[in-house]
Amino acid sequence: MEKLSTSLDQNYKFFQQRLNHCEDVEFRILNPYKVKGNEIIFMYCENVIDELIVFETLFEKIIQNYPKKNEKIDQSILKDVFPTTSIFFLDDVQEIISYLFYGFCIILFPNSNKAGLVCYSQKNFRQVGEPQSEVVIRGPREGFVEVIRTNIAMIRSKLPNANLKVRLKKIGTESKTFTAVIYMENKVPLDTLQKVLTRIDKIDIESTHESGSIERRLEEHPFSLFPQIVHTERPDKLVSDVMEGRIAIIVDGSPHALILPSTFKMFLQASEDYYERYWLGAALRVVRTFAFLIALLLPSFYIGVTTFHLEMLPTELALAIATQKEGTPFSAFFEALLMEVFFELLREAGIRLPMPVGSAVSIVGGLVIGDAAIQAGIASPAMVIVVALTGIASFAIPKYSFAIPLRILRFGLMIITSFLGLFGLMIAIIAIFIHITSLSSFGVPYFELSYSSFKEMFYFVRPSHLKNKNKFTEGEFK
């Protein structure tokens, strides 16, 4: 770890050499009386700093308070110019360079091995707006942005409490990205907090610019298809979870905050559930649970019934399906596979294309391909309905990261069912259930099988019953 020298010339030459070819870094030397050894050197990055404010406040105030010609300059001049809370001093070279590119003005003094740092950051980022991935009909319209200080300010405004703690850490050996760990000191379990802080400190990565890269390194079961950490763009959602004893992680440059520990039911909940009447929130959660089952099982169930267990259907429906399949040369499995692949291509195209074009492509493409498949005899009308219902059900799941594993598992279940029928489907469901119940998130069961958890998931306890309720007490899940 390199330290500053007491020689101003040596420090100046070092930074010039270290920041060589950094054309946006400016060096300014202030020496009003042209006295050797009585100058001050300023460093700042012009692209992330407001130069006009630097000249109007910093330079002019220092010149006004500059000592007389026969007096030596030292760091005490900064205390006369700025409040003590606005400046701080560092001697570590790497830390100083890191703050330089975060929008700090670095001030070097003669005969001092510490540099003064004053923040003049002027980054141009998008303004606070409505979250794109968590749209609600009723609720706050503000969402996180890419500036960590703005995100923390939004959280503080919603929860102005001294128990709300914010720990800043730097992740990335090269990027030194600021990461905030946020929790309520009087609610978070200490063992869970220690696990999270320890795992963050162990992250070994060169650079990180999105919370997803940290999420992968915090999960206890990285090879599982199911996500174990909820991410959100909504400050109200984060504050609600923090009040339940959970821990939030915000990464500078990312509008997605991480919430942990996370459980299965959190991926089927929406912020709007807490703003409507409790029975309506409960009904919506039941609907989403059915959507989860339909998105995962419907194509496989249709394949199993129509291929191996046709006698399970009413006679009229069985005859109607058999009539539709007369002109179809493919099996039910191949039909479902073909239509699911088409649907996934349309879904991906709708996401990647610009918004006005993407929505038109997904809607028109779905209608055209579905009708053309029926007319060409590639798929039966019943299969098109099944695939459409499956796609609509997957859209009803609030968390996009939770819908992705369902899309992958759906293909696996279709393959198993095409060979073993509903018997194979039941075996696969049991295997998935065993896998989910074996997962944990920082010591908390991922799929908690208890009456209280079931009641909260589907009955939705009245808000008055949740007052002062701490979800995770220390040692509860040991």
Tens digit of pLDDT for each residue in 283-301?
Answer: 888 889 999 999 999 999 9
pLDDT digits (tens, 9 = 90+) for 156-194: 989 888 899 999 898 988 888 889 999 999 899 999 999
| Listed range (165-169, 274-278, 429-433) with the worst mean pLDDT | 274-278
Residues 43 and 160 in one domain: no
Alpha helices in 177-277 (DSSP H): 190-201, 211-218, 235-243
Q: Of the residues 262, 289, 316, which one is the last residue of a structural domain?
A: 262
Question: CA 84 to CA 341: how far, in whole Å?
Answer: 62
Question: CA 223 to CA 205: how far, in whole Å?
Answer: 19
Question: Where residue 475 falls among pLDDT bands split at 50, 70, 90?
Answer: very low
Residues 306 and 247 in one domain: no
Question: CA 284 to CA 457: how far, in whole Å?
Answer: 10
* Most confidently predicted of 54-58, 401-405, 471-475: 401-405
Residues 233 and 354 in one domain: no
Coil, strand or helix at 275:
coil
- Look at residue 174 in the predicted model and tell me its pLDDT: 84
Residues 206 and 299 in one domain: no
- Residue 304, domain extent: 276-447
Question: Where residue 451 falls among pLDDT bands split at 50, 70, 90?
Answer: low
Residues 427 and 285 in one domain: yes
Q: For residue 476, tell me if it sits in a domain.
A: no
CB 184 within 8 A of CB 163: yes
Residues 309 and 164 in one domain: no
Beta partners for 25? 45
Question: CA 24 to CA 51: how far, in whole Å?
Answer: 12
- CA 117 vs CA 7, 85, 289, 318: distances in Å: 18, 11, 53, 77
- Look at residue 328 in the predicted model and tell me its pLDDT: 78
Number of domains observed in the structure of the chain = 3
Q: What share of the chain is helix, strand, coil (3-state, %, to 5)?
A: 50, 15, 35
- CA 446 vs CA 139, 243, 411, 440: distances in Å: 28, 19, 24, 5
Question: CA 352 to CA 362: how far, in whole Å?
Answer: 11
Question: Where residue 477 falls among pLDDT bands split at 50, 70, 90?
Answer: very low
- CA 372 vs CA 140, 293, 306, 379: distances in Å: 43, 28, 23, 9
Question: CA 257 to CA 278: how far, in whole Å?
Answer: 26
Tokens 């191949």: give the residue. 334
Rg (CA), the chain: 30
Question: CA 151 to CA 434: how far, in whole Å?
Answer: 38
Residue among 192, 200, 238 nearest 218 (CA): 200
Q: Of the residues 262, 293, 324, which one is the last residue of a structural domain?
A: 262
* Mean pLDDT computed over 204-211: 86
Give the length of the chain. Answer: 478
Largest alpha-carbon pair distance within the chain? 107
Q: Residue 220 class from Cβ within 10 Å (0-12 exposed, 13-18 middle, 19+ buried)?
A: middle
Q: What does pTM read for this prediction? A: 0.81
CB 237 within 8 A of CB 139: no
Residues 228 and 314 in one domain: no
pLDDT, greater one: 435 or 456: 435
Q: Is the pLDDT of residue 358 over 80?
A: no
Question: CA 273 to CA 256: how far, in whole Å?
Answer: 20
Q: For residue 335, tell me if it sits in a domain.
A: yes
Q: For residue 17, tell me if it sits in a domain.
A: yes
Q: For residue 235, tell me if it sits in a domain.
A: yes
pLDDT, greater one: 27 or 346: 27
Q: Which helix (H) or strand (E) holds 177?
A: strand 177-184
* Mean pLDDT computed over 343-369: 73
Q: Which helix (H) or strand (E) holds 423?
A: helix 400-438
Residues 31 and 171 in one domain: no
Q: Residue 269 class from Cβ within 10 Å (0-12 exposed, 13-18 middle, 19+ buried)?
A: buried
Question: CA 64 to CA 79: how far, in whole Å?
Answer: 13
CB atoms inside a 10 Å sphere around CB 358: 17
Residues 57 and 91 in one domain: yes
Residues 383 and 428 in one domain: yes
Q: Of the residues 214, 232, 262, which one is the last residue of a structural domain?
A: 262
Give me the percent of the chain exceeding a pLDDT of 70: 87
Q: For residue 372, tell me if it sits in a domain.
A: yes
Question: Where residue 390 falls among pLDDT bands split at 50, 70, 90?
Answer: very high
- Look at residue 452 in the predicted model and tell me its pLDDT: 65
Residues 310 and 432 in one domain: yes
Q: For residue 63, tell me if it sits in a domain.
A: yes
Q: For residue 455, tell me if it sits in a domain.
A: no
Q: For residue 223, tell me if it sits in a domain.
A: yes
Residues 281 and 426 in one domain: yes
